[in-house]
Amino acid sequence: MKSTFHHIPPIRYEGPTSRNPLAFKHYNADEVVAGKTLREHLRFAVVYWHTFRGTGSDPFGAGTMQRPWDDGSASVRNAQNRARVAFEFIEKLGAPYYCWHDRDVAPEGKTLAESNRNFDAVAKVLKEEQQRTGIKLLWGTANAFSHPRYAHGASTSCNADVFAYAASQVKKAMEVTHELGGEGYTFWGGREGYMTLLNTDMKREQEHLATFLRLAVDYKKKIGFKGQFYIEPKPKEPTKHQYDSDAAACLNFLREYDLLPHFKLNIETNHATLAGHTMQHELEVAGAAGALGSIDANTGDELLGWDTDQFPTSIYLTT
């Protein structure tokens, strides 16, 4: 495959006096701190969704991002080409890991069987690129929130067929994560919540969510997957109230349903902001419970009420 970023050399550490915009000024992966290199301390991962699937759209307009390697189609061939470009980007950046949602890397088909075939075809390329570059999968996850079938939730849906479909989708995502040597698997319940209490049986929905997670724990054991399970808290968006609203709510839920031994938390900065907390607060809550597993190190705008997923620029927050 022809190089997409052939004009850009690998990003290296050049020190704080460097004027090169494509160089690390302070992060030296080989620097030893407390007996370990920064590469070992900070296991950076590039996320597939915003980096390669974000369109730049908002509720008021269409996307503005143009990527010359992407033909805009939902074909498997385009997804495979995108995967190769993604690995070239990650390799140039020097990041040791990447993460994905299933529908980020492979297009959804007309049926679950077709979706799974598409996923397998792209996973083959992902595996080839992992072997070529040495880049590893930090964790995978299933997108059980974008398709209209999940309008009222996935595991908390009022429709048993939707619960079953979501379970099948997570099953496949876990299998591919395991096949690719993923070190973890994340659950984010984007629509596991409610818009109004008028048509919500909260206790029943949370029991269904717990059942769903128990099934995942059982299947993890069945296939021999040794990776860590994570839950990512977020209070709202797209639903009005999500059951995984913040670190404390997640821990309470996991304790209530005897799931805490199987899960840790993946804490995201912007989600902490939406919950009315600082990132330091959420990290402290998770850490105090021995449940801090992973960090989504973005940032949000404290003056806006939605998830902007911006690149962090505050030295006080990032350090």
* Integer CA distances (angstroms), 213 to 159, 170, 254, in order: 17, 10, 10
Q: Which two tokens stand for residue 44?
A: 């950076």
Distance CA 29, CA 41 (A): 9
Residues 6+ apart with CB under 8 A from 123: 105, 106, 176, 179, 180
* Of 7, 58, 101, 152, catalytic: 101
* Of 102, 104, 244, 296, catalytic: 104
Distance CA 228, CA 292 (A): 11
* Residue 178 known to be catalytic: no
Q: 261: cis peptide before it, omega within 30°?
A: no
Residue type, 99: C
Query: What is the number of other CB atoms lying within 10 angstroms of the CB of residue 81?
Result: 17
SS (H, E, C) 49-108: HHHHHCCCCECCECCCCCCCCCCCCCCHHHHHHHHHHHHHHHHHHCCCEEEEEHHHHCCC
* Residue 101 known to be catalytic: yes
Q: Which two tokens stand for residue 184?
A: 């973890």
Q: Which two tokens stand for residue 291?
A: 């449940």
Distance CA 108, CA 121 (A): 12
- HSE-up (13 A, CA, CB side) for residue 168: 12
Give Cα 285 to chain centroid, integer Å. 21
Instruction: Quickly list DSSP for 30-46.
Output: T-EETTEEHHHH---EE
SS3 193: strand
Angle at 158 between CA 231 and CA 273, to 5 degrees: 35
Active site residues: 101, 104
